Structure 1
């Protein structure tokens, strides 16, 4: 069973500042593993990578990196080991050769995510909404914290139309620093 979710990446702006085109959210649909334990761990891994490489560049880039890392994590399901799968891990270009995909029925690394237009609405079967608030900063400054909002399970309206209202009306079970969200919402592995 899939746990669908929407993640909205936004730039945290000064309360007194006028909105600009750069303030637009970047929104991602995630088809599976959208429950808080999975999403928050993935966000923490992404932040750690972006901090180490100084590659954080705002909502659009961060959303793209989130999708890329999520897709990359499923590619290993199709590499080596299985005689029915012909993709060689030493030859990543094999992923670009359609003849290597003929035996695969809708591989997960090609599906499972969508870049959403916030004006178009949400699918309606999402179980969680997330807002990832990125700091406004120069990428060459020291990394700073991300804040996140995590909705309660299905505690937002479902309809076709702009998603802003769903995000505005959602009941949030958490709003604060990413590290604190992990402490409060992610169970420790046994």
Structure 2
């Protein structure tokens, strides 16, 4: 069963108070593995990559890079697994050949995400909401901390209206630095 979620990447306008019309927002839907253990690990991996490469450029870029990395991680399910496929790890462009998809019924790497318009509403079957607050800064400055909010399990209203109300009315089980979220919410592997 899928654990669906919405991730909202946001860069607050100054001063950092309640959401304003000048905040920059990018929102994505994640169909599977939306529970905090998975999402927080993926966000830490993304932040480390963006910090190391100095490629953090705001919410839209962070959301796109999150989707890209998440898609890349699921594509291994379709590469070099079966003899009837002609998709090979050394030729990732094979994934673009529709003939190589005939045996797949709706591959998750093509359907596992969506770019959301916050004005359109959420699907209604999400189990978690996340807000990733990026600092307002010059991208060439030293990397700085990301703040995250993690909703309680299904602790927000469900409807087809604008998503702002869901994010405003959500009960947050965590709000603080990404590193602290990982420490407090993610179980250590056994």
Q: Could you say which TM-score interval applies, normalised by the shorter chain?
A: over 0.9
Residues 1:108 and 2:108 aligned together: yes
Counterparts of 1:132 and 1:13, CA distance in 2: 14
Q: Verify the 8 A CA contact 2:12 2:24 in the aligned structure 1.
A: no
C-alpha distance after superposition, 1:133-179 (max 9, x if no partner): 00011111100000000000011000011000000000000000000
- 1:108 Cα shift? 1.2
Which residue is 1:185 aligned to? 185
SS of equivalent residue, structure 2 residue 142: coil
| CA 58–80 in structure 1, closer or farther in 2 if over 3 Å, else same | same
TM-score, with length taken from structure 2: 0.95
Structure 2, unmatched stretches of 5+, are: none
Counterparts of 1:146 and 1:95, CA distance in 2: 34
Which residue is 2:68 aligned to? 68
Once superposed, which parts of structure 1, at least 4 consecutive aligned residues long, lie more than 3 Å away? 16-21
Counterparts of 1:20 and 1:29, CA distance in 2: 22
- 1:84 Cα shift? 2.6
SS of equivalent residue, structure 1 residue 25: strand
SS of equivalent residue, structure 2 residue 119: helix
- 1:42 Cα shift? 0.2
Report 1:38-77 matches (<5 A): 38-77=38-77
Counterparts of 1:16 and 1:57, CA distance in 2: 18
Aligned residues between the structures: 189
Counterparts of 2:130 and 2:21, CA distance in 1: 22
CA RMSD of aligned residues (A): 1.5
Q: Verify the 8 A CA contact 2:11 2:134 in the aligned structure 1.
A: yes
C-alpha distance after superposition, 1:51-105 (max 9, x if no partner): 0110110000000000010000011111113113220111111111111111211
Residues 1:78 and 2:71 aligned together: no
